[in-house]
Structure 1
Amino acid sequence: MSTMDKNKRIQSIPQKGFFGHPKGLFTLFFTEFWERFSYYGMRAILLYYMYYEISEGGLGLDQTTAASIMAVYGALVYMSGIIGGWIADRLLGTSRTVFYGGVLIMLGHIVLSFPGGVTALFVSMALIVIGTGLLKPNVSSVVGDLYSDEDTRRDAGFSIFYMGINLGGFLAPLIVGTVGQQYNYHLGFSLAAIGMLLGLITFVLTKKKNLGLAGTHVPNPLTKEERKKVFGIIGISAVIMIILGAFSIQTGFLTIKRFIFLISILGIIIPTLYFIVMYNSPKTNEVEKSRIIAYIPLFIAAMIFWAIQEQGSIILALYADNRTQLSLGGIEITPSWFQSLNPLFIIFLAPVFAWLWVKLGNRQPSTSKKFAYGLFFAGLSFLVMIIPAAMNGTETLVSPLWLVLSFFLVVLGELLLSPVGLSATTKLAPAAFSAQTMSLWFLSNASAQAINAQIVKLYRPETEIIYFGAIGAVAILIGVILLSLSPKIQEYMKGVR
């Protein structure tokens, strides 16, 4: 996008109106609030729905398989961001792509709201995977479009946007989790569908007035000749995949375990290929290539962080159900409620971090240093989980306060890494790959969860100490390495902080 086009876009957006930020932040804040309400509400009860017995309203899968499916599901959700980024960059622009993604997500929750067994589960997952891939990376890209490159409010704006995500994430387990676990799982999934509907309504009714031209630009549109070629390849590939999938399932070759292993491999291969393609593209100039090099260690650090953070809805969810005293101060606790801890802490701490970055201005730590500190806290969040097992063994139930402490520590790391990573991605992205680079950022989460699909199989009460200890120690070690490399990374960023 030319400087003139960027200026025209900024001028079309009301620059004041939402906590001192562009008015469009209101639209994106509440769109993402409701989308995250639907997604995290579904996730809060999905693991339990899969492994609870059929007599208890679940599907009766074993816990290890259910945990791996949860990790693969999360990986596919974020891998699909590649599709969403490509569609936005080359076909529709980010704004329209966000809308179509929301529609698919809503349909996915509707499918799961009806009893349909394992078949309905996988159909729902497919719709939500594709829909989230269209919506999630692109709504964040539109946030970046609200600010000029020199606007110092950018990091603070992403922190406020991140708080909107977590408001939805906080309420969802309390509402959807309570309804799903105490009354009926399918009724809980219905509430998730309603949440996405409200998000779509908010987006459609306010985008014209608040967003202006943000998200309407298609940075690298397909030519007519390219459209014919690309659509032909997509059509043929889809037919081949359907035929191979049907044959593999029918013959028993494609089992759940083999599918999980395949996704774990793709979680490493896909981002690697993505970096290679962007770096070698003739549309990427020398400054942009340098920034891509700087982005690689940040991507790896983010991948390590998310591998720990995302286990909050898998391993720590199992821990809450099987190893935790579900009462505190006379209050009975529903296991899914623990999923509200992460967003609850972010709601209180995100404004503090947003204020801190504005207050420090140019004196704040560099992006790579923030990432390193984030890894330190993530590692500590797992290391503290060693203590109750070391003190009392793994046969007794532990105080829920240990989970509270673990979630608190990982949130400190998340606020140092996640909103900062979103902001850095919009600044380091090559112009021809702006939305796709945001998809690459979300691939760090996909890669983490793809690896988790194999790691979570190792967790059992008897391996608890070494499980939490080894993963926590690796995170801290990577943080130390990143901190030592920080000056070199900053040099490759070519002026971006």
Structure 2
Amino acid sequence: MDNEQKLDRSFFGQPRGLRTLFFTEMWERFSYYGMRALLIFYMYYKVSQGGLGFDQATAASIMSIYSALVYVSSVLGGFLSDRVWGSRKTVFIGGIFIMLGHIVLSTPFGVSALFVSIALIVIGTGLLKPNVSDMVGQLYTEEDTRRDAGFSIFVFGINLGSLVAPVLVGRIGLNVNFHLGFSLAAIGMFFGLLQYYFDGKKNLSNASLYPTDPLEPGDLSKVLRRVLIGIVGLGLVLLLMQLMHALTLANIITLISVLVILTPIVYFTLMLTSEKTNAQERSRVRAYIPLFIAAALFWAIEEQGSAVLALFAADRTNLHFLGMNLAASDFQILNPLFIMLYTTPFVWLWTKWGKKQPSSPAKFAVGLVFAGVSYLIMAAPGFFFGTAGKVSPMWLVGSWAVVEIAEMLISPIGLSVTTKLAPKAFSSQMMSMWFLTDSAGSALNAQLVRFYSTKTEVPYFAIIGISSVLLGIILFAMVPWIKKSMQGIR
């Protein structure tokens, strides 16, 4: 990085390229979270109400496995960026896929349109998400103390788009027409593509135009062979399930959950055994493993906001509160709202402390404890008042207020530490590993959410909450070893 980039403070004291990536991700998240705020209701509402007529447990499982697939596809995005297209082109192509996915969902073709849309958005988000974040990391040197603050500002942009979307997309979808709501998500992604293309020409480094580890002539055949083996293997598994009369939606979701959880295990093995990874980089990858597990457990709680907590909002929450007529989708704004409220004090705190701030693994440990407490809050109304009636929406507000403290300690810090611990040859692919934390957590959710109902509400929230607190304490005990293995990275 040259001196001009080092001294660039054009965007709130940060490099000007952060502005481009800030607004690109803002519009992408508007489209994604607008769709997500509406999707579970679209799936379980009756056909006569404009929905698809799934039962609630199936709808919640689909929501979770959808999130898992969205983030596991980041492996594809990281590979294509590192070895074929470069990050800038990969992001643009991903945005086009996302926009097409929302357009398909806005058409009245029922279940078939749903699954085509899922496929398009899964591919598109996998191409876009890891590479936008990787380009943020490229704006800073390892020694630049602005890095964590820069990622926090970037996450603020994510949540700005996520804040507006549920109100517009959710309310229009629930009160007017589901498909009209989904069309707004497509329009949001279109604006994101325009901003990225024109602003990126001026503000992004030319290095983002080229792959960091381009395919050698003999590599392509090896990659194609592995892909073919994978496709044939998956086909044989599905054929076997069909012959055993086990090819049901529930079993397919379980199969995807298993494959998603196996993916990071394979990836860690490849990075640790690669000849392109030196001894110091291997040590840093090993240090990253417990952080990966902690983040996956956090996302297993946070991602239930669009599934379990959405059902709680619809079925157990009094939507007429203080003279307001709330929509169940309105509660999806709480996630980005609290992130936005917390970003400024957290950015100030990390900047004020500088090199004296707690280490990344210590922040992760505290984050897990807060995540667990947020679910203990959700267990309280059922424990004290029973699960038969409606309860105040303030329980949801309080739970989200606490879990978003956890997100501030894990999400931007995780993005930052991932870019710092990444082996050079696996730069974008290591960022894909960060998104696999969300994928693994969502794959776990696809199984967990099936156990949620009004009858199981209290033990469901309590068991998950207590488990998260205990795992946070265990991570605290591991902090010295993790810091040592990080080889000077904080």
TM-score where L is the length of structure 1 = 0.95
The answer to whether the Cα contact below 8 Å between 1:178 and 1:336 also exists between their aligned partners in 2 is yes
Q: Tell whether 2:213 aligns with 1:220.
A: yes
The answer to whether the Cα contact below 8 Å between 1:145 and 1:214 also exists between their aligned partners in 2 is no
The answer to whether the Cα contact below 8 Å between 1:112 and 1:120 also exists between their aligned partners in 2 is yes
Match of 1:129 in 2: 122
Q: Give 1:15 deviation, angstroms.
A: 1.8
Amino acid at match of 1:339: Q
Match of 2:284 in 1: 291
The answer to whether the Cα contact below 8 Å between 2:6 and 2:140 also exists between their aligned partners in 1 is no
The answer to whether the Cα contact below 8 Å between 1:267 and 1:451 also exists between their aligned partners in 2 is no
Amino acid at match of 1:73: Y
Q: 1:463 to 1:360 in 2, by over 3 A?
A: same
CA–CA distance in structure 1, aligned partners of residues 460 and 231 of structure 2: 40
The answer to whether the Cα contact below 8 Å between 2:71 and 2:126 also exists between their aligned partners in 1 is yes
Q: 1:247 to 1:121 in 2, by over 3 A?
A: farther
CA–CA distance in structure 1, aligned partners of residues 231 and 282 of structure 2: 33
CA–CA distance in structure 1, aligned partners of residues 226 and 193 of structure 2: 31
Amino acid at match of 1:178: R
CA–CA distance in structure 2, aligned partners of residues 212 and 18 of structure 1: 16
Match of 1:4 in 2: none
Q: Tell whether 2:368 aligns with 1:370.
A: no
Q: Give 1:11 deviation, angstroms.
A: 4.7
Q: Give 1:239 deviation, angstroms.
A: 7.6
- Which of the residues 479, 484, 490 maps onto 1:491? 484
CA–CA distance in structure 1, aligned partners of residues 114 and 181 of structure 2: 14
Amino acid at match of 2:408: L
The answer to whether the Cα contact below 8 Å between 1:93 and 1:218 also exists between their aligned partners in 2 is yes
Match of 1:415 in 2: 408
The answer to whether the Cα contact below 8 Å between 1:307 and 1:452 also exists between their aligned partners in 2 is yes
- Which of the residues 147, 150, 153 maps onto 2:140? 147
Match of 2:294 in 1: 301
Q: Give 1:213 deviation, angstroms.
A: 2.1
Q: Give 1:237 deviation, angstroms.
A: 5.5
The answer to whether the Cα contact below 8 Å between 1:13 and 1:211 also exists between their aligned partners in 2 is no
- Which of the residues 420, 429, 434 maps onto 1:441? 434
| Secondary structure, aligned partner of 1:215 | helix
- Which of the residues 298, 304, 314 maps onto 1:321? 314
Q: Tell whether 2:198 aligns with 1:201.
A: no
CA–CA distance in structure 2, aligned partners of residues 309 and 161 of structure 1: 19
CA–CA distance in structure 1, aligned partners of residues 144 and 464 of structure 2: 38
Unaligned residue ranges in structure 1 (runs of 5+): 1-6
Q: Give 1:186 deviation, angstroms.
A: 0.2
Deviations 1:269-315 (A, max 9, x none): 11111111100101111100110111011011001100000011110
Q: Tell whether 2:483 aligns with 1:470.
A: no
Q: Tell whether 2:183 aligns with 1:180.
A: no
The answer to whether the Cα contact below 8 Å between 1:12 and 1:213 also exists between their aligned partners in 2 is no
| Secondary structure, aligned partner of 2:37 | helix
Match of 2:159 in 1: 166
Greater alpha carbon shift after TM alignment, 409-418 vs 246-255: 246-255
Q: Tell whether 2:104 aligns with 1:111.
A: yes
CA–CA distance in structure 2, aligned partners of residues 27 and 312 of structure 1: 29
Match of 2:183 in 1: 190
- Which of the residues 78, 90, 97 maps onto 1:85? 78
CA–CA distance in structure 2, aligned partners of residues 310 and 374 of structure 1: 15
Q: 1:236 to 1:249 in 2, by over 3 A?
A: same
The answer to whether the Cα contact below 8 Å between 1:71 and 1:453 also exists between their aligned partners in 2 is yes
In the TM superposition, what are the counterparts of 1:24-39 in structure 2 within 5 Å? 24-39=17-32
| Secondary structure, aligned partner of 2:455 | helix
CA–CA distance in structure 2, aligned partners of residues 192 and 14 of structure 1: 37
- Which of the residues 449, 457, 468 maps onto 1:456? 449
Amino acid at match of 1:59: L
CA–CA distance in structure 1, aligned partners of residues 382 and 337 of structure 2: 26
CA–CA distance in structure 2, aligned partners of residues 177 and 224 of structure 1: 49
Could you say what the CA RMSD is over the residues aligned between the two structures, in angstroms?
1.8
Amino acid at match of 2:445: N
CA–CA distance in structure 1, aligned partners of residues 462 and 236 of structure 2: 44
Q: Give 1:254 deviation, angstroms.
A: 2.4
- Which of the residues 92, 112, 118 maps onto 1:99? 92
Q: Give 1:148 deviation, angstroms.
A: 1.5
CA–CA distance in structure 2, aligned partners of residues 27 and 248 of structure 1: 47
| Secondary structure, aligned partner of 1:385 | helix
Q: Give 1:356 deviation, angstroms.
A: 0.6
Q: Tell whether 2:62 aligns with 1:45.
A: no
The answer to whether the Cα contact below 8 Å between 1:13 and 1:23 also exists between their aligned partners in 2 is no
| Seq. identity, % | 54
The answer to whether the Cα contact below 8 Å between 2:8 and 2:16 also exists between their aligned partners in 1 is yes
Match of 1:156 in 2: 149
Greater alpha carbon shift after TM alignment, 474-483 vs 234-243: 234-243
Between the two proteins, the alignment pairs up a number of residues equal to 490
The answer to whether the Cα contact below 8 Å between 1:260 and 1:453 also exists between their aligned partners in 2 is yes
CA–CA distance in structure 2, aligned partners of residues 235 and 100 of structure 1: 23
- Which of the residues 388, 400, 413 maps onto 2:393? 400
CA–CA distance in structure 1, aligned partners of residues 230 and 383 of structure 2: 52
Unaligned residue ranges in structure 2 (runs of 5+): none
CA–CA distance in structure 2, aligned partners of residues 485 and 475 of structure 1: 15
Q: 1:240 to 1:291 in 2, by over 3 A?
A: closer
Q: Give 1:228 deviation, angstroms.
A: 3.9
| Secondary structure, aligned partner of 1:462 | coil
Deviations 1:204-242 (A, max 9, x none): 011111112252241211012222443465467658867
Q: Give 1:348 deviation, angstroms.
A: 1.3
Deviations 1:158-192 (A, max 9, x none): 00000000001110001100100010000000000
Q: Give 1:268 deviation, angstroms.
A: 2.0
Q: Give 1:352 deviation, angstroms.
A: 1.2
CA–CA distance in structure 1, aligned partners of residues 232 and 480 of structure 2: 49
Q: Tell whether 2:354 aligns with 1:361.
A: yes
